[in-house]
Amino acid sequence: MKIYNILIFPGGTEIGLEIYKALYQCKDVKLFSVGENFNNHAPYVFKNYTIVDSVYTSTWIQQLNDVIDLYKIDYIFPAHDDVIIALSKNCSKINAKFITSPIETCLITRSKSRTYDFFHDIVPTPTMYKDLNIITKFPVFVKPDVGQGSQDTHICHNKQELSCVLSNNEDYIVLEYLPGLEYTIDCFSDRECGLLFCKGRLRSRIRNGITMNCIVNDNPIFIEYATKISNKLLLYGAWFFQLKQDFDGVFKLLEIAPRIAGTMTLNRVLGVNFSLLSLYEQERLPINILTNKIDIILDRALTNHYKCDIQYDCVYVDLDDTLILNNGINLNLIKFLYQCVNKEKRLILITKHNYNLTKILMKYRIENLFDEIIWVKEDENKVDYMNESNAIFIDDSFSERYNVHEVKQIMTFDCSMIEILMEELF
């Protein structure tokens, strides 16, 4: 089985993190990442993360090629619109293939005005005011011709506001204001077979251009638009387009992007792994798409990853109200314990369980998980049975943790602290 070395560039964007989530558990993929030298999330999820200069410098190509050669990269997965353009324009200078559409497609879709001109007679597009004197209706919407994530966008309610905004940037375009609902339509195309998948999602809540809440939404017009777009434009693998309704409810094209979208996770969990399918499309492998029919809502929030200097060879862990919590296995803790199994750490169950210990361990199918089981009487102290020095202790009881910390001078954790122990670098 061939293993594909995939470089996500950059890894710290929402796009890069979605590609990571889609691929890190795939048996035929090994992930690497690069990005600029600034604080971002990539080093917390990628074991192999390398700093390269901005694509606007003269040094980035050589630095990128050094990484490609070092790790024998097969494909680069671009995770930012500017990177897509930079890679496409310099394809002959870079020592790996890219997972994206042809350069002309990338150039057209990177510009909003060029996109609207290209599709003006194909699908409805917003009215674009190239002559400001013909504007008769406010508000209007102003945004950069080349931009992403709703950055630097403005609603102008009169000519004075519009003049003020335009004085700050010559690259703005002025459009009719669209007050309606906004949708993203996730698509997948094969270069020979054409459009293979199309499903919309309502962007119910948006923050800084990122969809925080969305709902799967099927509308025949989405397929109609997707078909017209894919018939006009060469699109390979995953792509998406966004629509918004005008005052009359007409769906108008906001943008097209020949790449993974961060919130493609919604359709991914239904069965469409856009990132993996895009790799297969580049390899010209046969593709079938299977989805589960589920009513689903996605809601997103911040997630936590940590880097810390905790060192240990052994874990002492309590049973009641710790590993067994609310009449069930503590899933966060059991995940950590199996992480310890993978790393060959010693696991010791230390408990004051009052009933049949063998029966409860068998009930939850964890009787063979531990290297040692210490059954302590109710009137005894757990610390008296703890002989491992390079260890940590997990228990819901503060008094037990305090006693162990004071006597053994080892780190102790309750259930709310387990996340700091998780290592998810791939």
Convert the pLDDT of each residue in 120-130 to its tens digit: 999 999 999 98
Domain residues of the chain, as ranges? Answer: 4-98, 108-112+179-299, 127-176, 314-421
Half-sphere exposure of 38 (CA within 13 A, CB side): 6
Predicted pLDDT at 209: 84
How confident is residue 37, by pLDDT bands cut at 50, 70 and 90?
Answer: very high
Asked if 393 contacts 386 with a C-beta cutoff of 8 angstroms, the reply is yes
Total Cβ atoms within 10 A of residue 227: 14
Work out the average pLDDT over 271-281.
96
Architecture of domain 4-98: 3-Layer(aba) Sandwich (3.40)
d(CA 225, CA 243): 10
Whether the bond between 139 and the residue before it is cis, its omega within 30 degrees of 0, is yes
Average pLDDT of every residue of the chain: 94
Convert the pLDDT of each residue in 101-158 to its tens digit: 999 999 999 999 999 999 999 999 999 998 888 898 999 999 999 987 678 889 999 9
Task: Give the 3-state secondary structure of residue 408.
Answer: helix
pLDDT surpasses 90 at 304: no
Work out the average pLDDT over 341-345.
96
Work out the average pLDDT over 58-68.
98
Q: CA 71, 77, 80, 85 torsion: positive or negative?
A: positive
Helix (H) or strand (E) holding 30: strand 29-35
pLDDT surpasses 70 at 50: yes
One-letter identity of residue 232: K
Report the CATH fold assignment for 108-112+179-299.
D-amino Acid Aminotransferase; Chain A, domain 1 (3.30.470)
Q: Which two tokens stand for residue 381?
A: 């102290």
Whether the bond between 43 and the residue before it is cis, its omega within 30 degrees of 0, is no
Work out the average pLDDT over 347-356.
96
Total Cβ atoms within 10 A of residue 48: 17
How confident is residue 26, by pLDDT bands cut at 50, 70 and 90?
Answer: very high
- May I ask the CATH class of domain 314-421? alpha beta
Q: How far is CA 178 from CA 60, 125, 134, in A?
A: 39, 11, 18
Asked if 368 contacts 292 with a C-beta cutoff of 8 angstroms, the reply is no
d(CA 282, CA 284): 5
d(CA 274, CA 260): 7
Instruction: Return the minimum-mean-pLDDT range out of 18-27, 119-128, 297-306, 330-339.
Output: 297-306
Work out the average pLDDT over 377-404.
95
Q: How far is CA 333 from CA 240, 330, 346, 412, in A?
A: 38, 5, 15, 14
Q: What string of DSSP letters covers 132-173?
A: GGG--SS-EEEEESS--TTTT-EEE-SHHHHHHHHTT-TTEE
d(CA 156, CA 56): 32
Predicted pLDDT at 308: 87
pLDDT surpasses 90 at 236: yes
pLDDT surpasses 80 at 169: no
Domain 4-98 matches domain 314-421 at the CATH topology level: yes
pLDDT surpasses 70 at 426: no
Task: Give the 3-state secondary structure of residue 385.
Answer: helix
